[in-house]
Chain A
Amino acid sequence: MNSKALPYLLLMPATLFLCVFFLYPFALVAFEAVTRDGAFTLDNFRTMAGSWKFPVTVRNTLLLAAIVVPIQLAMALLMASVVSQLESGRSAALYIFAIPLGISDLAAGLIWLAIFDQSGFLNTLLSSLGVVDRPIMFLGYQSKLTIFVAVALAEIWRATAIMMVILVAGMGLIPKEYHEAAEVFGAGPWKRFVCITLPLLRPSLQTAIILRVILAFEVFAVVAALGGTNLPVLMGETYNWQFTLQDRNVAAASALLILAISIGFTLFFLRVLRVPKEARI
């Protein structure tokens, strides 16, 4: 076989697959969003934005991302630093920290349901401590704030691992000599972290933040498990348009909105956390 053709032959199945199942449906969803019965229209977007739930939905999704992602970033940095400092038990700690990476968002929602449910463990703890007389209804339709807190906690619990793993891999690339040199010149642990680790970690931080922000806009099953319809989010509304309301054009418009927000934030973080080529290690 001619070795010029070989790489293309090897790439062909994956490329064809991505064209049919990634590029094509992407074009299709864009097409469905701006047409109805074959004619071009923006009505689908108007219907979507005109729903009384829409402003709440957008606000919930963005607010959740804005609260969850910074906390996760801080926790992931803490976990990664702890892991890189540990001398014994390092791999055990890494495995434990990475566990939520393999857990479905639905399962994560159910895990936190076990805690926040009216007959759950949080109420058991509170009543045995004498803080409350009767179990509180944390997840009822009147307690939007506690639903939000429960969803935020479940999201933080579930998806910090993905950032942690990326940051640990990134920290492994920073040469040890830099830290040693800084220590010789008298820099304390905090100073070393701020002046060496953080700047050199920028490419990994960029990847971790982008990946996590996109996942944050996809939040769906955690909310379904904990809040039902009491805390509408974009992905859940898309699902509703498709199934409950049986209008796939509006569902496509809603999907396109999520795609647009995701791409917008990706470009934003690519720009803000840009790493000049010559500054890479």
Chain B
Amino acid sequence: MSAVAEAPVAATADARKAGDWLLVATTILLCVWVLLPIYLLLVNALSSPDEVTGFPKRFFPSFDLGSLSFFINFAGVARALWNSVLVATLTMVLSIGFGAPAGYALSRFDFPGKGTFRFLVLMTRAFPLPLLALPLAVMFIRTGLDDTAIGLALVHTTLALPFAVLITFSLFSGIPVELEEAAWTLGCTRWQAFRKVILPLALPGIAASAVFAFTISWNEVFAAAVLTIENRTLTAFLLQSLGESPLYLKFAGGAALVVPALLFIFAVRKYLFAMWGIANR
């Protein structure tokens, strides 16, 4: 009697167990799909030039720094790296400097024109923004901004600013307005209340969106290639030397692009979903 009653229970337990195994297997498979290609690039970057161009390949790195040192000493690379960092830092400062006040205003005030502004910000996402570098190239030549870090940073800021606005908007919305009001009743001015109460709470999130802005600029290829000639960023340098550069230079350059990106994403991992979640509406 009891065996009959237990059978369906055992069957569901079995099904659940099988489901769990399937889940774990799928997760592992997906992780391998993401990680394996990166690993293979790093194997190449950490092998000697002869091994990179040779065949067959080994699936483990020989930890020979030949490719990397060739890359670092290659004419123009050190400067391109420096330019990338410079442009990305400027982009970060500009997009947070312009975006955070706007995000704060959107979260704390109701005013005519709010909808229009949000529409303008959301509209930027329906456009392939790097294309706007083409007309700007001419404008920059007239104003002397051509081939400068600040000129490129301005274009990268159009990419990063909408995110900075939306992210800081959600951050400030998450901080109760009552905290600010309490500070006012205790005699703080609006600015003091912001600086002493709100800013410390919002700072980690603002830092995350700053890192995000940095990453956007660090990774951007098209506008960088269009707008820089002498002062090329790392992406522009690698793109324009694709035709003639040897394989080991490409792979070492790829690794130089990827490794910082891994760290950036790790640094902002807690905020990724909050960022994209609010970008939904």
Does B65 sit within 8 A of A, measured CB to CB? no
CB <8 Å contact, A266 and B161: no
Given A93-B31, A105-B221, A221-B235, does the pair A17, B254 have CB atoms closer than 8 Å?
Answer: no
Q: Chain B residues with Cβ under 8 A from A224's Cβ?
A: 239, 242
Does B195 sit within 8 A of A, measured CB to CB? no
Does A140 sit within 8 A of B, measured CB to CB? no
CB <8 Å contact, A29 and B55: no
A21 to B158, CA, bound (A): 7
CB <8 Å contact, B41 and A114: yes
Does B17 sit within 8 A of A, measured CB to CB? no
A258 to B127, CA, bound (A): 9
CB <8 Å contact, B134 and A7: no
The segment from B2-10, B71-79, B118-126, B174-182 found at the interface with A is B118-126
Among residues of B, the one whose C-beta sits closest to the C-beta of A166 is B276
Counting contact residues on chain A (CB < 8 A from B), the size range is 35 or more
Q: Chain A residues with Cβ under 8 A from B265's Cβ?
A: 95, 98-99, 101-102
Does A54 sit within 8 A of B, measured CB to CB? no
Does A113 sit within 8 A of B, measured CB to CB? yes
Does A169 sit within 8 A of B, measured CB to CB? yes
CB <8 Å contact, B161 and A14: yes
CB <8 Å contact, A29 and B131: yes
CB <8 Å contact, A169 and B277: yes
Does A25 sit within 8 A of B, measured CB to CB? yes
Task: Give the residue of A86, A110, A135, A239 whose beta carbon is less than 8 angstroms from that of B253.
Answer: A110
B184 nearest CB across to chain A (Å): 11
Given A11-B102, A29-B131, A98-B265, does the pair A172, B158 have CB atoms closer than 8 Å?
Answer: no
B124 nearest CB across to chain A (Å): 6
CB <8 Å contact, B19 and A221: no
Q: Chain A residues with Cβ under 8 A from B43's Cβ?
A: 114
B74-95 to A contact mask, C-beta < 8 Å, 1/0 = 0000000000000000000010
B235 nearest CB across to chain A (Å): 5
**Main SS class of interface, A:** helix
Task: Give the residue of A13, A135, A258 whose beta carbon is less than 8 angstroms from that of B98.
Answer: A13
A128 nearest CB across to chain B (Å): 7
Does B11 sit within 8 A of A, measured CB to CB? no
A91 to B270, CA, bound (A): 9
A32 to B145, CA, bound (A): 20
Does A182 sit within 8 A of B, measured CB to CB? no
A114 to B269, CA, bound (A): 27
CB <8 Å contact, B269 and A189: no
CB <8 Å contact, A239 and B97: no
CB <8 Å contact, A124 and B235: no
Task: Give the residue of B33, B40, B219 whose beta carbon is less than 8 angstroms from that of A107.
Answer: B219
Does A149 sit within 8 A of B, measured CB to CB? no
Task: Give the residue of B130, B264, B273 whose beta carbon is less than 8 angstroms from that of A102.
Answer: B264
CB <8 Å contact, A18 and B251: no
Given contacts A99-B34, A228-B242, 19 further A-B contacts (CB under 8 A): A6-B105, A7-B114, A14-B121, A18-B121, A29-B135, A85-B23, A106-B235, A110-B257, A113-B247, A119-B55, A124-B56, A128-B56, A168-B273, A214-B126, A225-B242, A228-B243, A238-B131, A243-B226, A258-B128
Residues on A facing B (Cβ under 8 Å):
1, 3-4, 6-8, 10-11, 13-15, 17-18, 21-22, 25-26, 28-29, 32, 78-79, 82, 85-86, 89, 91, 93-107, 110-115, 117-121, 123-124, 127-128, 135, 157, 162, 165-166, 168-170, 172-173, 189, 203-204, 207, 210-211, 214, 217-218, 220-221, 224-225, 228, 235, 238-239, 242-243, 248, 251-252, 255, 258-259, 262-263, 266
Residues on B facing A (Cβ under 8 Å):
19, 23, 26-27, 30-31, 33-35, 37-38, 40-41, 43-44, 52-57, 59, 94, 97-99, 101-102, 104-106, 108-109, 111, 113-114, 117, 120-121, 124-132, 134-139, 154-155, 157-158, 161, 165, 190, 215, 218-222, 225-226, 235, 238-239, 242-243, 247, 250-251, 253-254, 257-258, 261-262, 264-266, 269, 272-274, 276-281
